[in-house]
Amino acid sequence: MVPRPTTSRGARIVALAGLGLVSVVGIVALAIMLRGTGPIDALEQNVSVVEPADAGSSEDAAAGVAASAEVATKDPPPEPTRAAAEELDEARAKGPTALAELAEKYGDDPAVLEALVVAYTRDKANYGKAMTAVRKLLTVAPEMARDPDIKQALLLVANGPVNVAATALDIMATGMGPRGPELLYELLSASGLGKFPKERASKLLKDPKVVELAGPALIVANDLRAASGCNRKKLFARAAKDGDERALAHLKPLLATKGCSWHRQADCFVCLGDRKDLRATIDAITKRLEQKQAD
């Protein structure tokens, strides 16, 4: 009799457990094979994929929102400060009243104010208003001091009724910069002007404030104008240093050595002798002016 091998109880339990595990794995594998891939594919098709947001599109959208906000809050365009040419021409045609209304609307427009000055000076009754407009014009546009129409208006009013004439002369004295004293000087040499404007202009040209504005060339020319023939000799040194063409206008006539006495053959300015100093003064001024033009 062959003896039966002896097996321990623990070994039998381990063997049975291993056999059971293998059976379970086999069953699961078989189930997967039988199931197929259809349900999985269907599941994948039903899942929606979320694409990442486009950074550029987001920035564009933000810019659009910002632009819309800016348009909504932007201030309206400012009102024009200058009259249109057609508007000004129409007011000119209608006269001072229309121009005054336009000046109320465009108070800083030099063209409107200049037109108003010209219109006012056509009637002596409006000379005072003309000077008010001139003051306003020179405030908003100081360069208009050299405008020929403004010069004409001032000279016209300066030769008018005394009260408004004084206003015009005062504007020339201190309201126009260096151009004002130049007009005062021109006024002294102008023909057809009355006594009052010439006397007042002469007095104003001695005022320290006006002298400072005028500059040395104009002042020496005015001093030569005011001096008699022989008294001009003491001004030669100043004229040689500071004089310009205005000084020459008072010096060159002194070169003549004839023209006095009943036969007009005598020297009117014997005190000037051979005119050596006079010629030297004229030459100095002429050379300086030529050099200035060359520069």
Task: Answer yes or no: is pLDDT of 277 > 50.
Answer: yes
pLDDT digits (tens, 9 = 90+) for 240-251: 999 999 999 999
Check pLDDT > 70 for residue 194: yes
Name the residue among 192, 260, 269 with its Cα closest to residue 236: 269
Distance CA 154, CA 167 (A): 9
Characterize 71-92 residue by residue with b for buried, 16 or more Cβ atoms within 10 angstroms of its Cβ, and e for exposed: eeeeeeeeeeeebeeebbeebb
Q: Which two tokens stand for residue 56?
A: 């550029």
pLDDT at 3: 45
Query: Quick check: 175 pLDDT over 50?
Result: yes
Q: What is the reported pLDDT for 32?
A: 44
pLDDT of residue 1: 41
Whether the per-residue pLDDT at 213 is higher than 90: the answer is yes
- Binned at pLDDT 50, 70 and 90, residue 74 comes out as low
Query: Tell me, what's the pLDDT at 276?
Result: 96
pTM over 0.85: no
- For every residue of 267-285, DSSP letters joined together read -TTGGGTT-HHHHHHHHHH
Q: What percent of the chain has pLDDT over 90?
A: 66
Q: Is the pLDDT of residue 204 over 70?
A: yes
Question: Regarding predicted confidence, which is higher, 184 or 67?
Answer: 184
Identify whether the C-beta of residue 289 lies closer than 8 Å to the C-beta of residue 244: yes
Which range, of 61-70, 122-131, 246-255, averages the lowest pLDDT?
Answer: 61-70
What's the mean per-residue pLDDT of the chain? 83
Main-chain dihedrals φ then ψ at residue 275, nearest 5 degrees: 70, 20
